[in-house]
Amino acid sequence: MFSSRLPSLATNRISRAVEAARASGRAIIDLTETNPTAVGLDYPEREIREALADPRSLAYTPSPRGLDEARAAAAETFARHGARVDPAHVFLTASTSEAYALLFKLLCDPGDEVLVPRPSYPLFDHLAGLESVATTPYPLGYHHGWFLDVDEVRRRLIEKMSYLTQDLADPEPGSEEELRRFYESSPEIFTIPSLVSFDQVFFSPGARGEALESDAAAGLVELRNGRDPAEVGDRTPLRESYDDAPREQVAVLFGETLADALFTAAPGEWTGPFRSDFGLHLVRLRGRTGERLPPYEEIAGRVAQEYGAQRRREANERAYREMRARYDVVIELPEDAPAGTAP
């Protein structure tokens, strides 16, 4: 029985497709080939043979970082490309996979999770799994080249933080005394705002053109004379009637002026017109309730839910501070950032 860390050994569908293409006898260009010696690349064969013939290669002188000469040569290569790297900071491995495996061992504990870009190195999932590390993908953006979408990474981190802490405070249900005390100390949570019920008739700028305001004024007269609202105005993207709507909803849909009118006018009379982002509206207030704090007995279930939610938020905040204290956050600004730029 193999370890659960071992990824599936079954041949994947891409490998099966490659095998089938080769078996057909067709000439193919295999973009899945990862062996650099099998794809026709030119190598400095003479230099390689001379290096292997060097007597020093017969002596076994292991170094965990790689041979000093090799690390110095790597640093020189970086320098030719404009990057200054101290050879002491160069570590050589047998392959990319080995390098990532060592990094997972060095930086992660079993059960940790790391963010990996998509698209990226195809073996991340397998290598991380072998080290008992999980991966969470995030997409790279593309616009004349791949780039890191910082907002997307931040969103993934927030999601992960929420997941890690969501069960930290599934608290014991509050006692009756605790719940009542919470209810009395947080009336703003449980107060039901003033609500309005109303009808509206819409006049479309696109349909009415320059006659918009005069048609709306004529429509107001017709409605006050008892005409059926369905026979007045134009088709509307909004509802024709609203029940128990809070002021915020009315203001967002119809604008502040109409909201102010509904929450101050007497019911029963058609008024307007009022302008919104859609057009002009005539409205009739059918009813309005005042702000009300329901008695505890009426909303005891909701009080218990809000109490538990607050305790979870408090526990999440404590957990965040504890995790944050384990790290030093360093924000590196670009070298050309203006002086005084806040991180």
For residue 221, the model assigns a pLDDT of 94
Rounded-to-integer distance, Cα 234 and Cα 294, Å: 40
For residue 270, the model assigns a pLDDT of 94
What does DSSP say about strands 146-147 and 141-142: parallel, antiparallel, or unpaired? Answer: antiparallel
Rounded-to-integer distance, Cα 324 and Cα 333, Å: 21
Rounded-to-integer distance, Cα 128 and Cα 46, Å: 38
Rounded-to-integer distance, Cα 102 and Cα 113, Å: 15
Report which secondary-structure segment, H or E, holds 247: helix 247-254
- Domains of the chain as residue ranges with CATH: 58-92 (no CATH), 192-289 (3.10.50.40)
Close Cβ partners of 128 (under 8 Å, ≥ 6 residues apart): 104, 108, 114, 116, 134, 135
Scored b (16 or more CB within 10 A) or e, 229-244 reads beebbbeeeeeeebee
Helix segments in 81-192, DSSP class H: 96-107, 124-130, 150-165, 176-185, 187-190
Rounded-to-integer distance, Cα 196 and Cα 49, Å: 89
For residue 119, whether the previous peptide bond is cis, meaning omega lies within 30 degrees of 0, is yes
For residue 213, the model assigns a pLDDT of 93
Name the one residue in this structure whose structure tokens are 């002086």: 339
DSSP bridge partners of 203 = 280
Rounded-to-integer distance, Cα 8 and Cα 125, Å: 11
- pLDDT beneath 70: ranges in the chain: 1, 161-172, 329-343
DSSP bridge partners of 22 = none
For residue 336, the model assigns a pLDDT of 60
For residue 3, the model assigns a pLDDT of 77
For residue 242, the model assigns a pLDDT of 92
